[in-house]
Structure formats: structure tokens, C-alpha cells
Chains A and B, each alone.
Chain A
Amino acid sequence: MTGTEHFERRVVLSGVGQSAVGRRLDRSGFQLTLDAVHAAIEDAGLRVDDIDGLAMFPGGGKANLPGYANGNLYEIQDALRLTTTWRQGQVEGMSLPFYGPAQAVATGQARHVVIWRTVKEGSAARNAGGRPAYGSIHPAAEGPLAWLLPVGALSPVCQVAPYATRYMHEYGVTREQLAWIPVTQRAHAALNPDAVYRDPLTVDDYLASRMISTPICLYDCDVPVDGATAIVVSAAETAPDLRAPVAVEAMAGVVDGRPSWEQWADMGRVGHATAAALWNRTSLRPADVDVAQLYDGFTIEAVWWLEAMGFCGVGEAGAFVEGGKRIALGGDLPLNTWGGQLSGGRLHASFGHTAEAIRQLRGEAGARQVVGAEVAAVTNVGGIEAGAALLTRWRG
């Protein structure tokens, strides 16, 4: 492969900042965003005036999802009084938050880009009467959801659940096996002071919890929260100015087939094209990964990624996670060490996953540190978009 194909090697992830994260915070999305952005810039070892690129997800404008869009790009730029040479309003384009910013930095359009994602979905759910209001307010016969909302598939849960049904049908995997994903991640969350749910969770708790959309129960769903995450993407040559950069070994975001929830050809498998493209960009192999931050909007999404990334074979994720040992701290592949979105909170678009990967590779993950973590995998599913990256410890 030529150097130009590895543009991501010219980029580092230099800073990560998080606001408070909670089920409901009495603080505006704008203030949460500023908290996270300032924290990320400081964490990188930079000053605000060093920043010349901004990106956020989503791009702003009307969102059909209560609490989903916060931290308007224009207002943040105004509040920071920044001059930008590059901006983007939809950083999930290749289904990784840092994909577009990495391209901008690698091509010299900016040197230090701050990206953020701010959610107020916890407050939105509370305001709706305690039920998650996500995705449900304006069923309309327009756009990609025109064929789902009117027939009662009003939430991402209803849209993802048939994938879980099909997967379990094809591979004979049981809920008792899948339960080990949320149960193990809850044990990790107990070691993360910022996680929203830290009390122990058992397989019995999981099996006794209320069903949302079969086979997805309460504990298969991520937790709507209020919170903001910001990440700084910097040019690799600025590393001497940075406090603790992390390298981007490879990244990929392939959208194949039909990218809509109900038309996806094989609901037993998602993410395989992205994972194949990722491994083509590196000599590292799945066995080299020390810690995995795999998107878990729902338990089944972590299942897809375990298999797509080759951490286990197709149809083998149930056996892989059963008992929890392999995916626990100290196991072969510690999974979602911050608790993931299932216990840590739905920070969305893999922002929380990326933040944790950075911490782990720096050795800054506290009580949940994976000893000697050199390689981290990060994945994201947004709709049927799929993005994946390998991050590595910075070697200068």
C-alpha cells in the first residue's frame, strides 16, 4: 500500500474531554458542550487559539428526536471566538466521529480539530413522562423512516430488534448467553465513577427485566443521558506540543448493500465489509487487540462487531461472551471497559467508546485500566453505517 492510502497515520487523537454525565442534568446542552470542549483542549495540552477546525454530530437543524441535537456549531464557534479553516456539521459521515476531521488534518486543511457530541436525551425522556421519547414524535410518510414509523416501528428498538430475532434464529444463540454482555459491562461500570449505572447486574436481573421489543429487553438498551464528549484530532507532526497523543493505525467506513434498517439484506450480519476494509489497512490482527470499545446502542450491536471484527467466528458470539470471562478485565478481550452505552450512558456515535480507547492507551483509565494496553478497537453503528478503527499507543 502507498503512503497516501494510510492518511490516518498523519493524524493523532490528542485530547478528550467530558462534561458531567447523568440521567438528568440541570445544565443546558450548550454549557455541557463548552465544558467538554474546554476540557478536551486542555487535555491535549493545547490552547483554545490553537484550534482551527470544528465538527459536531449531528449538523444541527431540526431533529425528530428529543434531546438528540445540542451544541450548535455557530454558537460554539462564537463562544470560543475561533477562526476556523475547516468545519463539518455531520462528523459521523464515515460512521466514526473522527473520520472527516482526520481527513481534514491529514490533508493540511486544519491542524487541530475539536469534535463534539452532546445529548440531552435523559432530560427529554423525563419530560416525556419517564418513557424514552427517542424517535417517536412525528411519524411521517417521508424519508427513510416512511416505511417504518407508520406501521408502528416507532423507535430504534423496534428497528433493531428484527436483527436480533434473525440472528438468534440463525445461530441458536440464547438470551442467557447475550445477557453476559450487559452484565459484564455493568461490572466495568462499577469501576468508572462517571458511569450512570454502577450497581451490580446479574443474568437473573436481565432475564427478569421487562421486554421492550422482543428479543430486546430493558438491559439490552443503552441509557438515555445528558452529557457531552469532545475529542481533539491533531496533525501527527504537532506531537511534541501535545500532552499525550494516541495514534490512529487504521480506520474504515464501508456502507454496502441497502443502508436502511428494514431492507438490510442479511440481518444476521452487519459491519463485515467495514471490518474487512479495516484489516486491509494494517498488519495488525484481531489477536493483537488488547481492548475493544464496540458500539452497543443495543446488545446485538456489540454481537455484530465481535463477529465482524473477527474476535470470534460468525455465530459464535454467544459462546464467546458466555460466562463473561473473555470480555471482562483480565480476559482475552476486555469489552467496553467504561461500561459502554448500556451502563455508562448513551453518549452516542462512538464518542464515549473513542474517549475510553484514548484513556486506555494512555494508561489513564484508573481502576479499570487494561494493563499494558497497546492496541484498541473502536467501532460505531449509526443507522446501517458502520465505522471501525484501530488506535495504538503513541510511539513518537
Chain B
Amino acid sequence: MTEETEPFWAAAREGRLLVEHCPACGADSFPPYGACRVCRSRPVEFVEITERGRVYSFTVNHQRWLPGLEVPYAIVLVEFPGHPGVRVAGRLRGCPPQAAAIGLEVEVGFEPGPGGFAVPSFVAVPSAIAGPGSAAVDRTPEAGAGAGA
């Protein structure tokens, strides 16, 4: 956590996804730098993303990189139609990892991460996927499997 990322992690604890918004040019961007990537303005504001996102790409990881880390798990890269320029990585919840797909609709969520942080994750929209493992959307950091370390 640094000066420019502190508001992001504080909001993450509350299950809220903040990205940077530039008052000068209107662009949104991620991750937080305290500077607009489009017009280079400083400082910038934060805006909360509450809308559903779409999976831009993904991978289902089968390798146990850390002791206690449960595999397989899907890592998704999510973009938001109303916030061009923003892409956020997180694990996929609410469906089996094998249900990950490009274009899959997801809700913003958070889960416990290393060092007591809540880290971004994404919850598959039940209507968007088929098969077992579908779960109701829970946006709180307590939901979902904890990270291994």
C-alpha cells in the first residue's frame, strides 16, 4: 500500500471497487497512480464501479504455487462497458473455474488476500453461466475462498 493506492485498499475493505477518474479529461484508469494516463493531470479523483463487468481474458490455474492454495482457480481480467480504460484482475467465484469464458458477465466482489488486505475478485452472474456451483452474489470481502498466504 502506498500514498496513491491507500484509498483503493480502504474501499476494498468495504467491498467497494474504486478506480481513478480524471476531472480534467474525464478518463478512468486503473491501477491508481495519482495521475491520469490519458492527459497526465495530477491529482485525480476516485470513482466507484458498481456495474457488472465482462471477462476480457482469463486462465484457470492448476499449479499450486503456494502451500495451502487450493487449485484449480480461475483468474479473470475484467473490463467495464461504462469505464473504458479500466481492467482489473481477480479470481472468479460463483461458478466452477472451468466455466470461465471470455465475455462472461461478472459482479464486482472482494475476498481476503495476503496481509489482511481485501483483494478484487469477481462473481459470475448466475444467469450467465450453466452447470453446478452457481452461487448467489455476495459482494463482501468475507465471501469466497481465502488466498493461501
A residues within 8 Å of B by Cβ?
A: 131, 136, 139-142, 146-155, 157-158, 161-166, 169, 210-216, 258, 262-263, 267
Contacts and interface: CB of A to CB of B under 8 A. Distances in A.
B69 A152 contact: yes
Nearest to A137: B66
Contacts of A158: 59, 61, 65, 75
Contacts of B91: 151-152
Nearest to B90: A151
B130 interface: no
A136 B59 contact: no
B10 interface: no
Contacts of B117: 141, 150
Contact of A150 (B69, B87, B147): B147
A318 to B, nearest CB: 18
A225 B117 CA distance: 35
Nearest to A215: B59
Contact of B57 (A141, A163, A210, A258): A163
B62 A262 contact: no
Contacts of A157: 61, 63
Given A141-B9, A142-B2, A151-B75, A136 B66 contact: yes
A140 B121 CA distance: 17
B42 interface: no
B40 interface: no
Nearest to B74: A214
Contact of B89 (A142, A151, A165): A151
B65 A214 contact: no
A162 B117 CA distance: 24
B8 to A, nearest CB: 10
B87 A263 contact: yes
A183 B38 CA distance: 43
A212 B67 CA distance: 16
A300 to B, nearest CB: 11
Contact of B119 (A151, A161, A216, A258): A151
What 4 pairs across the A-B complex have the smallest Cβ distances? A161-B59, A162-B57, A154-B65, A166-B57
Given A141-B115, A142-B2, A131 B64 contact: yes
Interface string B37-62: 10000000000000000001111111
B77 interface: yes
A338 to B, nearest CB: 27
A211 B59 CA distance: 11
A263 to B, nearest CB: 6
A24 B80 CA distance: 46
Contact of B87 (A151, A152, A163, A262): A262
B94 interface: no
11 contacts: A147-B88, A147-B89, A150-B147, A153-B61, A161-B61, A165-B102, A213-B60, A213-B62, A214-B62, A215-B59, A263-B30
Contacts of B73: 152
Given A146-B5, A146-B31, A151-B121, A267 B89 contact: no
Contacts of A169: 57, 102
A152 B61 contact: yes
B63 A212 contact: yes
Contacts of B147: 139, 150-152
A15 to B, nearest CB: 38
Identify the interface centre among A157, A158, A164, A210: most chain B CB within 10 Å of its CB: A158
Which residue, B30, B57, B64, B114, has most C-beta atoms of chain A within 10 A?
Answer: B57
A147 B69 CA distance: 18
Given A150-B147, A262-B87, 15 more contacts: A141-B117, A146-B31, A150-B113, A150-B117, A151-B75, A151-B89, A154-B66, A157-B61, A169-B102, A212-B63, A213-B61, A213-B75, A262-B89, A263-B87, A267-B57
A168 B61 CA distance: 17
A159 B89 CA distance: 10
Nearest to B145: A152
Contacts of B56: 162, 166, 267
A262 B37 CA distance: 15
A263 B89 CA distance: 9
A68 to B, nearest CB: 16
Contacts of B62: 210-214
Contacts of A152: 61, 65, 69, 73, 75, 91, 147
Contacts of B136: none
B87 A162 contact: no
B149 interface: yes
Nearest to A218: B63
Interface in B2-48: 2, 5, 9, 30-31, 37
B120 interface: yes
